[in-house]
Amino acid sequence: MNSLIEINNLSTYFESGAGTVKAVDDISFRIREGETVCIVGESGCGKSITAMSIMGLVDEPHGKVVGGQIRFGDKDLLKISKEEMRRIRGNDISIIFQEPMSSLNPVITIGRQIMEPLMLHQKLNKKQAYARALELIELVGISRAEQIAASYPHQLSGGMLQRIMIAIAISCGPKLLIADEPTTALDVTIQAQVLETLRQSKEQSNMSIMLITHDLGVVAEMADYVIVMYAGKIVEEGDVEELFERPKHPYTRGLLKSKPIIGQRAEQLYSIPGQVPSPLELTESCYFHDRCESCIPICRIRQPKLSEVAAGHLAACWLYEEEAEA
């Protein structure tokens, strides 16, 4: 499969009153056509900032993409003009967010909000756009499309709104759909419906999905490929089966261990001790060392590089480095 988007050495920093926060620190990965890549990690590890960096929507002037390359087709998204980027957003790459309740404009009708990108990117006229909007509403599994199109966001439930968000995101037939914690804010029963909607939309159009989540259940269900992030860095990545069956990095192992397994009773659910380190206090070391059960001396003084530990399986951990002793 051809790769659709390639992120090389992306770094996004934020200036806060107390110093520079390296929210995303020199990460590289790629997403192939039709593939679903999941990015997992605790909150604050840089997953969402990665997504916003790809969209070109990092909050300026506080935050800034300071380096790297985002290759999409024959373009580098970090080099092209704002206007060109705007034409890609919502058209070739689209995104849905965590909070469906607040992500739609409260004073504009649902129909109008779906029609907007269609009229803008696909150059449909009002009538065509409206007809297409109704199709899209039905496509994401909501009946009474006309009634829904005329209603305002506050009149719908969270699950419905998230499906409307999906309808908006897929309206222009994007090549890549970024879903930033799309189910986190929803009830468990609704979560499955929304994921199903996502999967169906993907099957119909062969788009790629970059799914950001901290829910390993979602990962197991949706992912082809998994990337684990910790404190702004990628610590492990690989195919979903490989990674779930043979996790290498102690952090990934911890995450997998803390996931409840249905049918198995445990005395107490496992949780990784400690907290994500403050991004301001990071020093040259493995950022995970003070929470790690297998910490060795070198972990405290040098940072491990991401390298292949098995075929198609990368991890950044001194435990797998030959030179660890050197």
Partner 1 sequence: MRTYLLRRCLYMLLILIGASLLIFFLYSLTPGDYVDNNLSLSEERKAELREIHGLNKPILERYVNWMANMFKGDFGYSLAQQRPVLDLFQDYIWNSFLLAVVSTFFTWFFAVVVGVLTAYKQYSLLDTLVMVGIFAAMSIPSFFIGLFLIKVFAVDLKILPPGGMITTGSRAVGWEYVAQVLHHMLLPVAVMVLLGVGSLTRYFRSNMLEVIKQDYVRTARAKGLKERTVLYRHALKNAMLPAITLIGFELPGLFGGSIIIEKIFNWPGIGQLYMQSFTVRDYPLLMGFTMFLAILTVVGTFISDILYHTSDPRVRL
Partner 2 sequence: MSIPTTAGRPEKAIRALDVSDSLWRQSIRQLRKNKLAVAGFAFIAFMFLICFIGPLFSPYADGKINPANMHQPPSAKHWLGTDLLGRDVLTRLLQAGRISLTVGLASMALSMTIGTVLGIVSGYYRGVVDQIIMRVADLLFTIPGLPILFIMGALMSDWKIPTDYRLYLVMLMLSIIGWPGVARLVRSQMLTLREREYMQAADVLGLSDKRKLFRHLLPNVFPLLIVIATLSIGGAILSESALSFFGLGVMPPTPTWGNMIDAANNVIDFEKRPWLWIPPGLAIFLTVIAINIFGDGLRDVLDPKQNTSR
The CB-of-184 to partner 2 minimum distance in angstroms stands at 13
For partner 1, the closer CB: 124 or 314: 124
x/- track of binding to partner 1 for residues 264-303 (CB under 8 A) = ----------------------------------------
14 part of the interface to partner 2, by CB under 8 A: yes
CA distance 119 to 113: 10
- Residue 52 beta carbon to partner 2: minimum distance, rounded to whole angstroms: 5
What, of partner 1, partner 2, none, does residue 175 touch, CB below 5 to 8 Å by kind? none
Find the binder of partner 2 among 280, 294, 300, 308 (CB under 8 A). 280
CB nearer to partner 1: pick between 106 and 263: 106
206: partner contacted, choices partner 2, partner 1, none (Cβ within 5-8 A by kind): none
Longest CA pairwise span in the chain (Å): 69
Is 116 among the residues that bind partner 1 (CB under 8 A)?
Answer: yes
Residue 326 binding partner 1, by CB under 8 A: no
**Angle at CA of residue 131, ends 129 and 132, nearest 5°:** 65
- C-alpha span between 169 and 177 (Å, rounded): 7
How far is it, in rounded angstroms, from Cα 113 to Cα 277?
40
- Sequence-ordered list of residues with C-beta below 8 angstroms from that of 109, at least 6 positions apart, any chain: 149, 150, 151, 152
Q: Binding to partner 1 by residue 77, rule CB under 8 A?
A: no
Q: In the complex with partner 1, which residue's Cβ is closer, 94 or 197?
A: 94
Q: Work out what residue 281 binds among partner 1, partner 2, none; the CB cut-off runs from 5 to 8 Å by kind.
A: partner 2
Q: What own/partner pairs with CB < 8 Å and gap ≥ 24 does 148-157 have?
A: 148/110, 148/111, 149/109, 149/110, 149/111, 149/114, 150/109, 150/110, 150/111, 151/109, 151/110, 152/106, 152/107, 152/108, 152/109, 152/110, 153/101, 153/104, 153/105, 153/106, 153/110, 154/106, 156/110, 157/190
- Decide whether 165 or 234 has the Cβ nearer to partner 1: 165
CA distance 136 to 201: 10
Q: Is 55 among the residues that bind partner 1 (CB under 8 A)? A: yes
Binding to partner 2 (CB under 8 A) within 213-272 occurs at none
> What single DSSP character describes residue 89?
B
Residues that bind partner 1 (CB under 8 A): 55, 57, 61, 86-91, 94-95, 97, 99, 102-108, 116-117, 120-121, 152, 154, 165, 168
Residues that bind partner 2 (CB under 8 A): 14, 16-19, 21, 23, 43-46, 48-49, 52, 57-59, 62-63, 276, 278-281
